[in-house]
Structure 1
Amino acid sequence: MITIRQAGEADFDLVAEFIRKLAEYEKLAHEVRFDDATLHRHLFGPRPAAEVLIGEVDGAPAGFALFFQTFSTFEGKPGIWLEDLFVEPNARGAGLGRALLSRLAALVIERGGARLEWNVLDWNELGKSFYRSIGAGHVDGWERWRMQDDALEALANGL
């Protein structure tokens, strides 16, 4: 049986473990730099920056979805950005990924939102195939850009 629940503070270690497992799967473990105290504050502190759903199969945690609110000026409505989705290898194919995304879609609607969006690594054909199977599509004409580390500091300091 699949259940989806909101993560609570007691789930912090589990969430951190899922993040590390996702990074390993994505071949990005070397980019995981969070310290526990900072991540904990941003997930479960007085002003959470993100929310987490835990997916369970037969009562055992087997995956998670980490997400946060976005806003579309064109739609004039909020949305949800799915930052991380991970399902343990032994639970894949059981419907847990679909159940997590279904709950996120319901949250978008419950919150009066317009969109559920996320990124997919260009090599992740398994993920792309799964997302297509649930009705998602690639957004043509857009590229993802990022600023971080030294460039972010320089811009913040007016350089």
Structure 2
Amino acid sequence: MADVSVREASEDDCDEIIRLMQEFATHEGNLHLLKTSVQSRPRLVGYLLYMWSFTTMSGRFLFVEDLFVEKNFRRKGVGSLLWASAMKLALSWGCGYMQWMAKRRNTMGINFYKKLGAVETNTDSIMTFTLDNDAMKTACSNIVS
């Protein structure tokens, strides 16, 4: 296992987290979509970005937006440490479950999630939609007009 520590991020980590986000976006081929910039500070090697959410039927849950570990630190336990930290946090807050999405091509990630005991919950009745910034502006002006 890599010699790393896991802790909650602080405001001082913002630049370093953005640097990792840029590396993640590059890895995904989406750097052109990232609207952030960075100046270096203390070095981080991974992050897990989450948010709290709530459902009528199940109550509070933790939604994982991103899990990213730098290439040189993968397969050394860093992702497991980040994930364990998120699971402990979710349990301490009384969450009924955790949820996240993964691209089908992310076989390494999917195998990792399945080893944790995660279950795929894709159904034909649930679809994911996105409104980009321009579409939101247009929709708002159409609704408010």
TM-score normalized by the length of structure 2: 0.85
| Structure 1 stretch displaced more, 92-101 or 26-35 | 26-35
**Higher strand fraction (1 or 2):** 1
Of 71, 78, 89 in structure 2, the residue corresponding to residue 89 of structure 1 is 71
- Paired with 2:70 and 2:37, the residues of 1 have a C-alpha distance of 23
**Consecutive unaligned residues in structure 1, runs of 5 or more:** 37-59
Q: Is the 8 A contact 2:68 2:79 kept in 1?
A: yes
* Partner AA of 2:49 in structure 1: L
Partner of 2:128: 144
- State yes or no: 1:70 paired with 2:72: no
Any runs of at least 4 consecutive aligned residues in structure 1 with deviations exceeding 3 A, and if so which?
none
* Partner AA of 2:113 in structure 1: Y
Of 61, 64, 73 in structure 1, the residue corresponding to residue 44 of structure 2 is 61
Taking only the aligned residue pairs, the percentage that are identical comes to 25
**Consecutive unaligned residues in structure 2, runs of 5 or more:** none
- What does 1:95-114 align with in structure 2 at a 5 Å threshold? 95-114=77-96
* Partner AA of 1:151 in structure 2: A
Q: CA RMSD in A?
A: 1.9
How many residue pairs get matched?
136
Q: Secondary structure at the match of 1:30?
A: helix
- Paired with 2:48 and 2:22, the residues of 1 have a C-alpha distance of 13
| Structure 1 stretch displaced more, 14-23 or 137-146 | 137-146
Give CA-to-partner distance per residue, 1:82-133, whole Å, 9 cap, x none. 1111111111111110111111111111111112111111221111111111
- Paired with 1:35 and 1:88, the residues of 2 have a C-alpha distance of 18
Tell which structure's C-alpha radius of gyration is larger: 2
* Partner AA of 2:48 in structure 1: A
- What does 1:115-126 align with in structure 2 at a 5 Å threshold? 115-126=97-108
TM-score normalized by the length of structure 1: 0.78
